Each structure stands twice: as structure tokens, then as C-alpha cells.
């Protein structure tokens, strides 16, 4: 740390208890009381340097108090800095440093130590050191600014623009590329550099270039400032054009240092010094200030950090506007969140639910509103998704998957009411879910944990999912799920058969294309290539045959189940229709009515309507005539049993 040495005389000051004595051989003729300390001094050295001391001593003499006592009640810096002032007046050796220049400058102003009362007085000496040494150095400017935050000099430092000058000095240095000049490297104890920029060793240029300094080199330094000074410095840096992401990184570093809730159960950031945490009220003020300073822009800070701020704000009962701002910030980048982030405990006094579901729903609404405002495209259709083999990982589909997982986690909470569960599920638009498997899983868990739900509530809950957007695995599970209403099970069976038939048709199409390709392959390539291509084609056909055999078995089982259900429903209709003349057509009309009741939007293509399509492909060309006759018979049967929309 740089310093300015003043005075030439040996130190003649001695401390005895709560009193200072100047042992110059002459008895003291005045006592100056500052705070709880007494200074037994001499009049002449004081009045020759200070206008205030000159007036106070003159007033005491007019009152006849030759050995009077003068009290300085509000001198900046208190007794410690007045000790340095007294040594300056006596010409005793002492130093001006970055740590004491600000309070000494304020004390000199308070005591009117101008050039009128002596050449090279304390005001001019402190100004020279401040401007020519302190403000040209990062560390010294920071140290001087820290002292400006002391309560006993803060207002005087503002009047003398010491605080402003230190802040401007720091803002300029932080906004300048440190690799251009090398000054922060020198300040931080790095190697000295030549004017050409190479590293110096014993004053000799080595030719080596110093390592580049990252843009966050000043984060830890400024985190030592009080919140008021840190805020002013941040605003000054922002006005200087420092990038928003750098400002946001500094705010994150500062918050993690003083808000213990952000680093609890986690490793503190590299370089962050653990300190005594502030009071809860101070933490609350800090959190709200960080939220105000943080630019409202997506991606400047991590989503996990924002969740930490939000959870800490909920615990500290931060201002509602601050909580809403944090929810909006998270909503802007909700696609970057994890399930662990969303599982925030409910800190409300009511403790209605285990997790804070309302907060998550507001985040989802913010995200969806922003997605629509920015023209976020709908994800690919379910058919395209099947062809591509995996869902389109757009931000909106990632949020939909995240919320489905969250619903599954909160579903076991017995205090979670049905309207609240449905409201969160409906906050995600239908187009955001390429598949409804995650939503089905959440609904199933909710039904299992809320077994007392009425049938009407179960029906209402199951309407959230689209049976056409369930995978084959989910359909298989749902078809055997006793917790689902009968209407949903029948719909699942219907769409499961459609998916199986579509999958089998696709397999046959691929098989035919492979056969055509193998024939072209044999005719166009040499013998060696023919053998390799034929082996590959045979192997792929074998794999396809195994898959088709398993699908045939599943289709057969489903058709049997569907046929049994149809017979049971027809019997039920005949029993209710009576034994009158309507018996002949009662089964068909009852089946039609039941299809309407189950709410199918498509006409039937299930049961035995297309049994011949599978057998025709597998039997080969030798049984073509038999297959066509059977198909004609089945088409006639299909016409008789077709469902009304």
C-alpha cells in the first residue's frame, strides 16, 4: 500500500490510559477532549495550523481560562485521526496511507487546516496524495472508498466528493480491458511488465507474455464494500458501459457472500470468503436491492441462483413485488430449470400444501406468455415425432416435460386439491406435449393418492390427457389400470389398436422397400458386394419378422378383449331393450349408442374389421384369392358395425 511520509521529528507522544501527552519538555497549556480520550497539548502548534483551534483557544482566553479544556464533539475520524492531526501540527513523523487519507482529509476540512494557516497544510497534503497516488491505483482507491463508508465521515466525504472520486476511479479501471495495460496484474501481486508488455525478471525482459486476466477479476475486491457503496459503484460501472452479464456476475458473487441461504448445503464459490452473516433484516434489504440492480434480461445469471434468491426471499418475507420480479425472471428461462429447483417448500403460514405450487404456476404462465409474445413455434406433431424417433427439444416442450415431472412429484400430497392440480396441468398448452405419457403418470399417481375422489372428478381429471398422444407402453399400462374410468379405458384400447395397426403397416412398408432395394442391389453390384448386401438385408428382415410376430400376438389379444367387451355391451343393451320386436336391431343400435357415450370422435377401425390385413401380408401371394374373399366379407361386416361420430 502506498504512503506519504510527513514530519521529521521523533515521536514525542505517549499514551497513559485514556490520555495522550506530548513530552517536549514544556508543560501542557491546553487539553483537547475527543470522544473518551484527552490530549494534553500546547496552544501554539495547534493554532498555527488550524483556524478552528485558533478561534476556540481565543474564546477560552477571553473567558480567562488559561489552562482550559476544548471539546471536539464531532470531528471526523474520532480520537484516532485527531492523534494524527496533532502529530502533523507538531511535525512528528507519521504516514498518510490509503486507509487514513479520507478521514484525515475530512478532519483537516473540519479544523480549517488551509494554506492560510501554514504552508503545505494538511488539506493540501491529503489532496495531493489522494489525487496523485490513491486514485491512480485500484487497491488504494478501493481502500479509500471503504473508509468513506464509516459513519463518522460518510457525510463529510460526500461533501468533499471523496466518495464520488473513488467510485469513478474504480469504475474506469473496471471498464477498461485489464490486458491492455497490465495494472490490475501488478495490483494483485503478479509479475512486473515492461512497456512492451513482456514479463520482467530482475528488471530484464524475459519475452514471455503474462496470462490474460478474466473480466471478473474485481468481483472479490468490490464485495468488501458496504451495500450502499457497492450499489453506487455498480451503477457507475453500468453507466460506463460494462456488459450486463459482467454486472450480473458481480451481483451474484456479492449476494452469495452475504446471503447464507444461497450457499447452504452447497460449496461456496471459488474465492468467496466466509463471513459472519448479516441480520435477517439486513439480508432482506440486500436481497431486494440485488433484485433491483439485476438487469431484467434472460440468461444473465443461472436459473439455480434465481431460485435461491426466490426461496431466500420467501423465507425472509421479502416485499411481494420483489417475489413477483424473481418469479418473472425465472419464468423467462424456465426451460433451464431442473425438477429439484421447482420443489420449493411452502413457507406460508397456512401450510396448505407441502410445496409452493402457486409460485410454480405463475412461473409457467410467465414463460408461456413470453413464448407466445416472441412467436415461439409449436413443437412437431405426434406423427412427426414418431418418425424422428425423439421429441423436438424446443424450450416449450422442455418446460412441458419439466412440469409433468413436477406434477408427478407433488401428486402424492393428500392436501393438494383437484382444482389446483388441474390448474397447473392446464397451464401448459396442449401443443407443448408431443406425448402425454408424463401427464398420464402424474394423473395415475394423483388417483392412487386420492382414492376417495368421486367418479365425476376422476372423469374430469382424466380429460386433461389425450389418449391419442399416449405411447404403446402407456396405452398398455392404462388399459389394465383399474383406477381409470371405463370411458378412458375404452378410448385407450381403441387408440392402442390404431397405433398397432399403423406401426405394423409401417413395418410392412419398410420390409417391401428392403426387398426392392435388395433386388436392385443384386442387379447393380459385383458378386462380392451382392453377398454382403444380401446378408445385411436378410438380417434386417429377420429382425423385422420378430417384431411383427410380437405385434401380431398383441393385436390378437386386443381384438379378443374388444370382442368380449362388445358382446357384454350388446347383452346389456338387449337386457334393457326388453324381449320385444326390437331384439334384432337392438344390439347394433345399442353398440352405436355406447360408442357415442364413450365419446369417440373417429369411426371404428378396430375389432375384426381389418384382421385380414395382417394374414394377407404373412401368407404370401399363394393365398391371395382366399385373402381377397375374406377381406370382402370383413368389409361388409365393418359396414354393419361402423360407429357413429
| DSSP H or E run through 4 | strand 3-6
Choose among 377, 425, 365, 373: nearest CA to 401.
Answer: 425
Burial of 308 (0-12, 13-18, 19+ CB in 10 A): buried
DSSP state of 10: P
Check residue 605 and give its pLDDT. Answer: 38
Distance CA 291, CA 325 (A): 8
- Helix boundaries (H) for 217-265: 219-222, 227-239, 244-258
Q: Distance between CA atoms of 170 and 238, rounded to whole angstroms?
A: 12
How far is the CA of 14 from the CAs of 25, 41, 75, 276, in angstroms? 13, 11, 21, 36
Q: Are 134 and 141 in contact (CB under 8 A)?
A: yes
Asked if 325 and 332 count as a contact pair (C-beta separation under 8 A), the reply is no
Helix axes 437-449, 395-410, angle to 10 degrees: 10
Q: How far apart are the C-alpha atoms of 252 and 250, rounded to whole Å?
A: 5
Calculate helix-pair angle for 437-449, 418-426, nearest 10 degrees: 170
Under 8 Å between Cβ of 590 and 573: yes
Q: What pLDDT shows up at residue 261? A: 84
What residues contact 27, with CB distance under 8 A and at least 6 apart? Answer: none
User: Which residues sit opposite 31 in a β-bridge?
Assistant: 40, 69
Please, which residues have CB within 8 angstroms of residue 310's CB and are 6 or more apart in sequence?
323, 326, 327, 330, 344, 359
Q: Which residue in 444, 464, 479, 456 sits closest to 554, CA to CA?
A: 479
d(CA 470, CA 474): 6
Residue 127 pLDDT: 95
C-alpha to C-alpha distance for 184 and 480, rounded to whole angstroms: 70
Strands 69-72 and 204-205: unpaired
Concatenated DSSP letters of 362-425: HHHHHHHHHHHHTTPPPPPPHHHHHHHSS----HHHHHHHHHHHHHHHHTT-TT--HHHHHHHH
Q: What is the pLDDT of residue 495?
A: 73
Return d(Cα 23, Cα 6) in angstroms, integer: 19
Residue with cell 366379407: 633
The DSSP annotation for 430-477 comes to GGG-S--HHHHHHHHHHHHH-TT--HHHHHHHHTTS-GGG--HHHHHH
**pLDDT in the model for residue 542:** 62
Rg (CA), the chain: 42
Cα–Cα dist 569/564, whole Å = 9
Q: What are phi and psi of 319, to 5 degrees?
A: -60, 140
Q: Distance between CA atoms of 165 and 185, rounded to whole angstroms?
A: 22
Question: Cβ(471)–Cβ(540) under 8 Å?
Answer: no
The answer to whether 458 and 481 have CB atoms below 8 angstroms apart is: no
Tell whether the torsion through CA atoms of 304, 310, 313 and 318 is positive or negative.
positive
Q: Going from the first residue of the chain to its last (645 residues), give the mean pLDDT of each consecutive group of 10, the final group possibly shorter.
A: 81 86 83 91 90 89 75 90 92 91 95 92 95 94 93 92 96 80 48 52 53 78 94 94 93 93 62 72 95 92 94 93 95 94 84 88 94 67 44 81 95 92 93 90 92 89 85 82 81 72 62 52 45 55 62 71 76 60 43 45 38 40 41 39 33
Instruction: Kindly list the distances between the CA atom of residue 46 and the CA atoms of 69, 203, 378, in Å, as whole numbers in the listed order.
Output: 14, 47, 81
SS3 assignment, position 67: coil
> What are the DSSP E strand ranges found in 259-381?
none
Cα–Cα distances (Å) from 340 to 55, 308, 315, 337, in that order, read 70, 12, 18, 8
Query: Kind and range of the H or E element at 71?
Result: strand 69-72
- pLDDT attached to residue 86: 92
Amino acid at each position: 500500500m502506498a504512503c506519504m511520509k510527513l514530519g521529521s521529528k521523533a515521536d514525542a507522544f505517549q499514551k497513559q490510559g485514556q490520555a495522550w501527552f506530548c513530552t517536549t519538555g514544556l508543560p501542557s497549556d491546553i487539553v483537547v477532549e475527543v470522544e473518551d480520550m484527552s490530549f494534553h497539548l500546547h496552544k501554539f502548534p495547534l493554532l498555527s495550523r488550524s483556524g478552528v483551534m485558533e478561534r476556540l483557544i481565543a474564546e477560552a482566553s477571553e473567558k480567562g481560562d488559561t489552562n482550559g479544556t476544548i471539546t471536539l464533539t464531532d470531528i471526523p475520524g474520532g480520537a484516532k485521526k485527531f492523534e494524527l492531526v496533532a502529530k502533523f501540527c507538531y511535525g512528528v513523523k507519521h504516514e498518510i496511507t490509503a486507509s487514513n487519507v479520507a478521514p484525515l482529509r475530512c478532519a483537516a476540512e473540519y479544523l480549517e487546516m488551509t494554506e492560510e494557516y501554514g504552508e503545505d497544510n494538511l488539506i493540501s497534503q491529503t489532496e495531493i496524495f489522494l489525487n496523485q497516488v490513491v486514485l491512480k491505483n485500484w487497491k488504494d482507491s478501493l481502500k479509500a472508498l471503504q473508509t468513506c463508508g464509516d459513519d463518522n465521515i460518510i457525510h463529510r466525504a460526500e461533501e468533499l466528493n471523496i466518495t464520488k472520486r473513488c467510485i469513478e476511479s474504480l469504475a474506469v479501471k473496471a471498464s477498461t480491458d485489464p490486458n491492455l495495460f497490465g495494472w490490475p496484474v501488478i495490483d494483485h501481486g503478479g509479475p512486473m511488465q515492461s512497456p512492451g508488455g513482456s514479463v520482467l525478471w530482475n528488471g530484464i525482459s524475459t519475452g514471455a507474455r503474462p496470462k490474460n486476466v478474466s473480466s471478473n477479476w474485481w468481483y472479490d475486491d468490490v464485495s468488501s464494500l458496504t451495500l450502499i457503496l457497492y450499489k453506487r459503484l455498480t451503477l457507475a460501472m453500468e453507466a460506463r458501459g460494462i456488459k450486463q452479464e459482467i454486472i450480473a456476475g458481480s451481483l451474484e458473487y456479492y449476494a452469495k457472500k452475504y446471503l447464507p441461504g444461497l450457499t447452504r448445503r452447497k460449496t461456496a464459490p471459488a474465492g468467496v470468503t466466509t463471513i459472519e452473516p448479516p441480520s435477517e433484516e439486513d439480508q432482506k434489504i440486500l436481497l431486494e436491492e440485488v433484485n433491483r440492480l439485476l438487469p431484467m434480461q434472460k440468461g444473465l445469471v443461472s436459473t439455480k441462483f434465481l431460485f435461491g434468491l426466490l426461496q431466500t426471499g420467501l423465507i425472509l418475507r421479502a416485499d411481494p413485488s420483489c417475489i413477483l420480479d424473481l418469479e418473472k425472471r425465472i419464468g423467462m428461462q424456465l426451460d433451464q430449470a431442473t425438477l429439484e429447483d421447482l420443489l420449493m417448500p411452502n413457507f406460508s403460514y397456512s401450510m396448505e400444501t407441502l410445496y409452493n405450487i402457486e409460485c410454480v404456476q405463475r412461473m409457467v404462465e410467465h414463460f408461456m406468455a413470453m413464448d407466445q409474445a416472441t412467436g415461439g413455434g409449436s413443437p412437431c406433431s405426434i406423427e412427426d415425432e414418431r418418425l424422428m424417433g425423439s421429441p423436438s427439444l424446443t424450450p416449450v416442450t422442455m418446460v412441458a416435460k419439466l412440469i409433468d415431472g413436477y406434477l408427478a412429484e407433488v401428486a402424492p400430497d393428500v392436501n393438494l386439491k383437484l382444482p389446483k392440480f388441474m390448474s397447473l396441468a392446464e397451464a401448459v398448452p396442449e401443443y407443448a406435449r408431443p406425448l402425454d405419457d408424463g401427464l398420464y403418470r402424474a394423473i395415475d399417481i394423483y388417483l392412487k393418492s386420492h382414492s376417495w375422489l368421486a367418479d365425476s372428478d376422476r372423469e374430469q381429471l382424466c380429460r386433461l390427457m389425450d389418449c391419442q398422444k399416449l405411447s404403446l407402453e402407456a396405452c398398455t399400462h392404462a388399459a389394465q389400470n383399474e383406477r381409470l374410468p371405463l370411458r378412458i379405458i375404452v378410448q385407450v384400447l381403441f387408440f392402442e389398436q390404431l397405433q398397432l395397426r399403423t406401426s405394423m403397416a409401417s413395418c410392412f412398408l419398410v420390409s417391401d422397400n428392403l426387398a426392392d432395394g435388395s433386388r436392385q442391389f443384386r442387379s447393380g453390384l459385383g458378386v462380392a458386394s451382392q453377398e454382403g448386401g444380401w446378408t445385411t438385408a436378410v438380417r434386417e428382415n429377420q429382425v423385422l419378422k420378430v417384431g411383427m410376430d410380437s405385434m401380431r400376438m398383441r393385436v390378437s389379444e386386443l381384438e379378443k378383449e374388444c370382442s368380449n367387451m362388445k358382446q357384454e355391451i350388446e347383452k346389456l343393451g338387449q337386457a334393457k331393450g326388453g324381449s320385444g320386436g326390437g331384439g334384432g336391431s337392438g344390439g347394433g343400435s345399442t353398440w352405436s349408442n355406447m360408442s357415442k357415450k364413450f365419446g369417440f370422435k373417429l369411426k371404428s377401425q378396430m375389432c375384426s374389421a381389418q384382421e385380414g390385413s395382417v394374414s394377407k401380408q404373412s401368407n404370401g401371394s399363394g393365398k391371395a384369392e382366399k385373402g381377397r374373399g375374406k377381406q370382402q366379407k370383413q368389409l361388409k361386416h365393418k359396414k354393419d358395425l361402423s360407429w357413429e361420430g
